[in-house]
Amino acid sequence: MALDGILLHKVVPEIAKSFPLRIQKIWDISNTEILFQTHGEDGKKQLLISCHSVYNRILFSKRNYPTPSEPRSFVMVLRKYLEGSIMETIEQFGLDRWCVIQIRRRNNLGDIEYLKLYVELMGQYANMILVNNEGKIIDALKRIAPSETNNRIIHPGAMFEPIKAQMKEDPFVVQEINPDKSLVAQFAGFSPFLAKEVEYRLANGESFHDIMQEIEKSNQLFIANHNNEAVFHCIELKSCGLNKSYPFFEGFDILYYHKEEKERIKQVTGDIYHLTNRQLKHYRQKLPRLMNELDQAIDCDKYNKYGELLYTYNITDTKGQSEIILKDYESDSDIKIPLDAKLDGKQNAKKYYQKYKKLKKGQTYIQEQIDICNNEINYFEGILQQLEQADYYTAIEIKDELTQLGYIKAKTNNKKKAKKQKLSIVQIQTDENTLISIGKNNLQNDELTWHIAKRNEYWFHAKDYHGAHVILHKDTPSEDDIRLCAMLAAYYSKGRMSSSVPVNYCQVKNLKKIPGAKPGMVQLTNYKTIYIDPDEEIIQSLIPS
């Protein structure tokens, strides 16, 4: 669900209150999101503009966003023209879903010139277009070449054509509505969702004028759950049951931050999902074949018996025969021995001895391959689980881990050796004496368990589940400390949706590193187990956004 024209009509004035703003930095935080770091009378602010097909919006955000080191070409253009310039005004065109930001800058000669940044928030057509004072397009987030359309051309050098206004009535001015036409067809700025809410209210005795007055006076975003989907607008959603209200920008962050974070993660780590699923498929198909080969290898004693019987009875002339029946000297029963018709008795016996030795020796090798296969399945199932719960930086670290282990080919174009980045380990300070650290991927788990935690501090991990290592930085934990850490370990594991999740815990000194094992693997002794129900509300209240 995206903004409609009426909601944009409420958001733009809220943004305009902080203008003018000096643009200090510009970042692309995903393929469709641009972040402007600005400074004005109210101090520093982050203006986020998203041109995502579903989550498109414009707002001030207080969240932390990733800033990729390699900006895309459009961001390089924005930096060239806009960094250091002033955003003077922002204005919406009627009740349509687009607005324009007027920008004042000094060119290379020191002369003042004005540029316009058009922000179009229209679903799959959402775009951001930088236009010079002559009306020519400097560049756009999404270019549309002449070969792609017969209508609007969005391309550097082309003349910019604003979106044509829809010939609809202004709902804030009109006194009466036409009952024979839908609200969407009658009024500018109306989305189908808002129309349904207004129709519900009209059917329950409210007047159209009063509803529009409520919209005009609103300074809150109301969020509800309707058919398992988050819906929102600037008035109470009476047709959707229970509502929660937030200031506009805070509400949008609650709605979209984590949804778009998943998009950002996919953009930078899409190859990880592909690699992980491919590896899992490979090893899951390989394991049954190895188990079948092991069964055959374990059954190798019969080939030794065949060879012994052929030698014992001095069988020689078997060419042309496909089988022979001999009596077992141990059990006194008849044994049917398949033969190679091209070979004589001694050659068949030798062939069976060779097959016996090969399978006997192969048992060890096949078992090693089965162990490797199980370890790889276990490892990649853990990676997949970590990706499901990962934030942006945690996902980047998972990609680094797979690169270090050789699953992903490292980039060779960087001549300078990359500096070791600090891992994004989450820490929670519950009181003066209680600090808890959470490792949400294998690299974090290793760093936390073997380099950060002290010997007498306590380690927690969900039993029989892939999940986080949780360290309680305390020598003498209380029962509440243990229960909280166990809950964190259960929540950041594959068992987060289960009840009574078993969590093992012990002092760090009782952990042992497994030689040759992949990151995040430990052996533990002298541990205890607690059963805990993960509570998402408690966890979310503790974890910083």
Q: Render pLDDT for 370-381 as a digit per residue (tens, 0 to 9).
A: 999 999 999 999
The amino acid sitting at 151 is N
Distance CA 126, CA 34 (A): 13
Phi, psi of 523 (to 5 degrees): -110, 145
DSSP string, 117-129: EEEE--GGG-EEE
Distance CA 325, CA 209 (A): 101
Which residue matches tokens 């069988």?
315
Secondary-structure percent of the chain, ordered helix, strand, coil, rounded to 5: 40, 25, 35
Helix (H) or strand (E) holding 45, with range, is: strand 43-50
Q: Which residues contact 174 (CB under 8 A, 6 or more apart)?
A: 187
Query: What pLDDT sits at residue 536?
Result: 83
**114 DSSP β-pair partners:** 104
Looking at domain 5-148, its CATH architecture is Roll (2.30)
Q: Which residues contact 15 (CB under 8 A, 6 or more apart)?
A: 47, 58, 59, 60, 90
Question: What's the whole-number mean pLDDT along residues 454-471?
Answer: 94
Of 414, 381, 409, 434, which is closest to residue 542 (Cα–Cα)?
Answer: 434
In this predicted structure, which of 42-46, 102-106, 233-237, 359-363 has the lowest mean pLDDT? Answer: 359-363
Higher pLDDT, 383 or 414: 383
Helix (H) or strand (E) holding 247, with range, is: strand 243-247
User: In the predicted model, is pLDDT for residue 48 greater than 90?
Assistant: yes
In this predicted structure, which of 50-64, 266-280, 496-510 has the lowest mean pLDDT? Answer: 266-280
pLDDT in tens, 223-274: 998 887 889 999 999 999 889 999 999 998 888 876 777 777 777 677 788 8
Query: What pLDDT sits at residue 234?
Result: 94
Query: What pLDDT sits at residue 312?
Result: 86
Query: What pLDDT sits at residue 415?
Result: 46
pLDDT in tens, 347-357: 999 998 898 88
DSSP letter, residue 238: G
**112 DSSP β-pair partners:** 106
Which residue matches tokens 């065949």?
306
Question: What's the whole-number mean pLDDT along residues 180-196?
Answer: 93
Question: What's the whole-number mean pLDDT along residues 283-299?
Answer: 90
Query: What pLDDT sits at residue 221?
Result: 93
Distance CA 176, CA 183 (A): 11
pTM listed for this prediction: 0.68
Q: Which residues contact 278 (CB under 8 A, 6 or more apart)?
A: none
- The answer to whether the CB of 316 falls within 8 A of the CB of 344 is yes
**27: its two tokens:** 């970042």
Beginning with the edge strand found earlier in the chain, give each strand of the sheet holding 43-50 in spatial order.
Answer: 57-60, 43-50, 33-40, 21-28, 86-92, 98-106, 112-120, 127-131, 137-140
Query: What pLDDT sits at residue 545?
Result: 56
**197: its two tokens:** 């809410």
User: In the predicted model, is pLDDT for residue 178 greater than 50?
Assistant: yes
Phi, psi of 542 (to 5 degrees): -95, -35
pLDDT in tens, 141-167: 999 888 776 678 999 999 999 988 888
Q: Report domain extents, the chain.
A: 5-148, 270-416, 426-542
Maximum separation of any 2 CA atoms in the chain, in Å: 113
pLDDT in tens, 206-216: 999 999 999 99
**43 DSSP β-pair partners:** 40
Q: What percent of the chain has pLDDT over 70?
A: 96
Of 540, 536, 272, which is closest to residue 394 (Cα–Cα)?
Answer: 272
Higher pLDDT, 123 or 279: 279
Of 52, 59, 50, which is closest to residue 17 (Cα–Cα)?
Answer: 59
Query: What pLDDT sits at residue 412?
Result: 62
Q: What percent of the chain has pLDDT over 90?
A: 56
Rounded to 10 degrees, the C-alpha dihedral 232/233/238/241 comes to 10
Considering 95-109, 165-179, 417-431, the range whose residues carry the highest mean pLDDT is 95-109
> How many residues does the structure list for the chain?
545
pLDDT in tens, 415-461: 444 556 688 899 999 888 899 999 999 999 999 999 999 999 999 99
Query: What pLDDT sits at residue 420?
Result: 61
User: In the predicted model, is pLDDT for residue 171 greater than 50?
Assistant: yes
Distance CA 541, CA 470 (A): 17
DSSP string, 263-319: HHHHHHHHHHHHHHHHHHHHHHHHHHHHHHHHHHHHTTHHHHHHHHHHHHTT----T
CA angle 426, 455, 460 (to 5 degrees): 45
Rounded to the nearest 10 degrees, the angle between the axes of helix 345-388 and helix 392-404 is 150
Mean of all residue pLDDT scores within the chain: 89
Q: Which residues contact 168 (CB under 8 A, 6 or more apart)?
A: 185, 186, 187, 188
